[in-house]
Amino acid sequence: MIKKLLFYVFFFIVSVFIGFKFQNQVLQIILVPQGILKLFVKENVIRPTIQINTTEENKEESVYANSFELVVTNVKEFSGFNKNIDQSQNSQHKSAALYGSKKNEKTYLELFTRDGFIINNQNIDQYELPNFYDPHNSQGGIRGVFFINDETYILMASKKIGCQNVSIFNLDRKKEILNLDCLPDVQGIHYDAIGGASIHFKNDIFISIGTPTNNTQSIRNLAQNNDSFYGKIIQINKFNLKNYLNEEKEIGIKIFTKGHRNPQGLAKINDIIFSTEHGPKGGDELNLISENKNYGWPLSSYGTKYEEISIASYKLSHSNYGFKEPLFQFTPSIGISDLTNCTPQMIEYFERNGCLLATSLRDQSLVIFLLDKNLSRVIGIEKIDFGQRLRHIAKQKNGQLFYEKDGTIYISSDSGEVLKVFFRLIKD
């Protein structure tokens, strides 16, 4: 009798503690046959509602580059997808990816938000996210979306009991395929640095994963840890993944490169892969990605630390310490984000195959990189001011640029729009 009473008292105390500790979560208690008590904490995630402003008309304006004009039109079907909501929820409606496709000569765009909404031609759908999805004070959520064999995968912030980390999840099969180690300093987590870019290359897919912090050294150091996938570009073989999903074998994920801070864009020209990467305070990078290379973070960077100036900053040189130098770096930072190859029309206009497009957040511009014929050196850049934070350029499901026959592309912005951008490329 006394033992039973003590058990109930103990159970009551534990329940009160958990109720206080996880007051914003739902506690599920499952008793298994052996009498073992297991506790599962499930996030009570209330995703902010989302709506489209269907009354807004298409607005066309001209944006001028150095030698040509861009005609920019907001795509009405996406107008205001993250406007007019509480500012604390705004970042959850920012785009996690933008994809385009053609069917019967009609263009279909799909915009994925960080909290699992999909907007498609004024239709709003919502994926069922796993219980460990973590909005993390509106700074987490989904940070990358990619497709393999027409199945949808997301890279996202995760939270389980005593563990905050990053995971890759198959939405169609509701199966986690990669669960990274728990981050060592939960107070220092900043999920804006997850990364989340992807590109298909032959039988593999490459995915970028950052080190999610601004100022915590223990998280930064994971970029140099060969036992961690943080701060890496990883390589997944599609056949191995298919076998894994059929429960036949392990995936065998490889680290392709390391030493990355926050790589948000991946693109390829022929068989050469490039990436864009947020620096800290300065030091945004365009990198040429080569297997087994080390890109230096957090030891070398052309940026400086966010901490007090008295704290020793990074080494500027990369090559002096055995790291690969960036092709180009921006100081001050432009908030470089997505990356893709140029349209055929732009390649013809600039008379070179080495042409890349990048978006910028802080600088609010579209950036054109022109490379030499060996694709090993940047010979020129042009920044075209849009006056709003540009995030994702529409891609095909293979990760390559989606564009219309006339060279029109589509870009998502943080001001709640998808922009249709036509390059009026006319030579005298």
**pLDDT tens track for 250-303:** 899 999 999 999 999 999 999 999 999 999 999 999 999 999 999 999 999 999
Per-residue pLDDT at 318: 98
pLDDT tens, 344-359?
A: 999 999 999 999 999 9
What's the mean per-residue pLDDT of the chain?
A: 87
Q: Cα(420)–Cα(15) distance, rounded to whole angstroms?
A: 54
Per-residue pLDDT at 82: 56
CA-atom Rg of the chain in angstroms = 23
End-to-end CA distance of the chain: 97
Q: Flag whether pLDDT at 21 surpasses 50.
A: no
Of 4-13, 31-40, 125-134, 207-216, the poorest mean pLDDT is in 31-40
Per-residue pLDDT at 312: 73
> Mean pLDDT across the stretch 147-163?
95
Q: Flag whether pLDDT at 330 surpasses 90.
A: yes
- DSSP-derived letter for residue 92 is G
409-413 vs 25-31, strand pairing mode:
unpaired
Contact 366, 386 (CB under 8 A): yes
Per-residue pLDDT at 34: 33
CA distances from residue 276 to 140, 233, 259, 334 in whole angstroms, order as listed: 20, 12, 13, 11
CA distances from residue 372 to 314, 352, 379 in whole angstroms, order as listed: 29, 8, 6
Per-residue pLDDT at 332: 96
Opening angle at CA 344, ends 338 and 350, nearest 5: 90
CA distances from residue 344 to 99, 353, 405, 407, 421 in whole angstroms, order as listed: 19, 9, 9, 7, 15
Length of the chain equals 428
Which is more confident, 42 or 188? 188
φ/ψ of residue 60, rounded to 5: -110, 135
Which is more confident, 58 or 393? 393
Is the CA virtual torsion 369, 373, 378, 382 positive or negative? negative
Number of CB atoms found within 10 A of residue 321's CB? 11
Per-residue pLDDT at 25: 38
Boundaries of every domain in the chain? 1-44, 60-424
Q: Which CATH architecture has domain 60-424?
A: 6 Propeller (2.120)
CA distances from residue 197 to 51, 296, 339 in whole angstroms, order as listed: 26, 19, 9
Share of the chain above pLDDT 70, in %: 82
In what helix (H) or strand (E) does residue 4 lie, and over which residues does it extend? Answer: helix 2-21
> Mean pLDDT across the stretch 214-232?
95
Q: Flag whether pLDDT at 90 surpasses 80.
A: no
123-126 vs 142-148, strand pairing mode:
unpaired
pLDDT tens, 399-422?
A: 999 999 999 999 999 988 999 999
Q: Cα(324)–Cα(340) distance, rounded to whole angstroms?
A: 21
DSSP H stretches of helix in 224-350: 238-245, 344-350
pLDDT tens, 235-246?
A: 999 999 999 998
pLDDT tens, 304-317?
A: 988 766 567 899 99
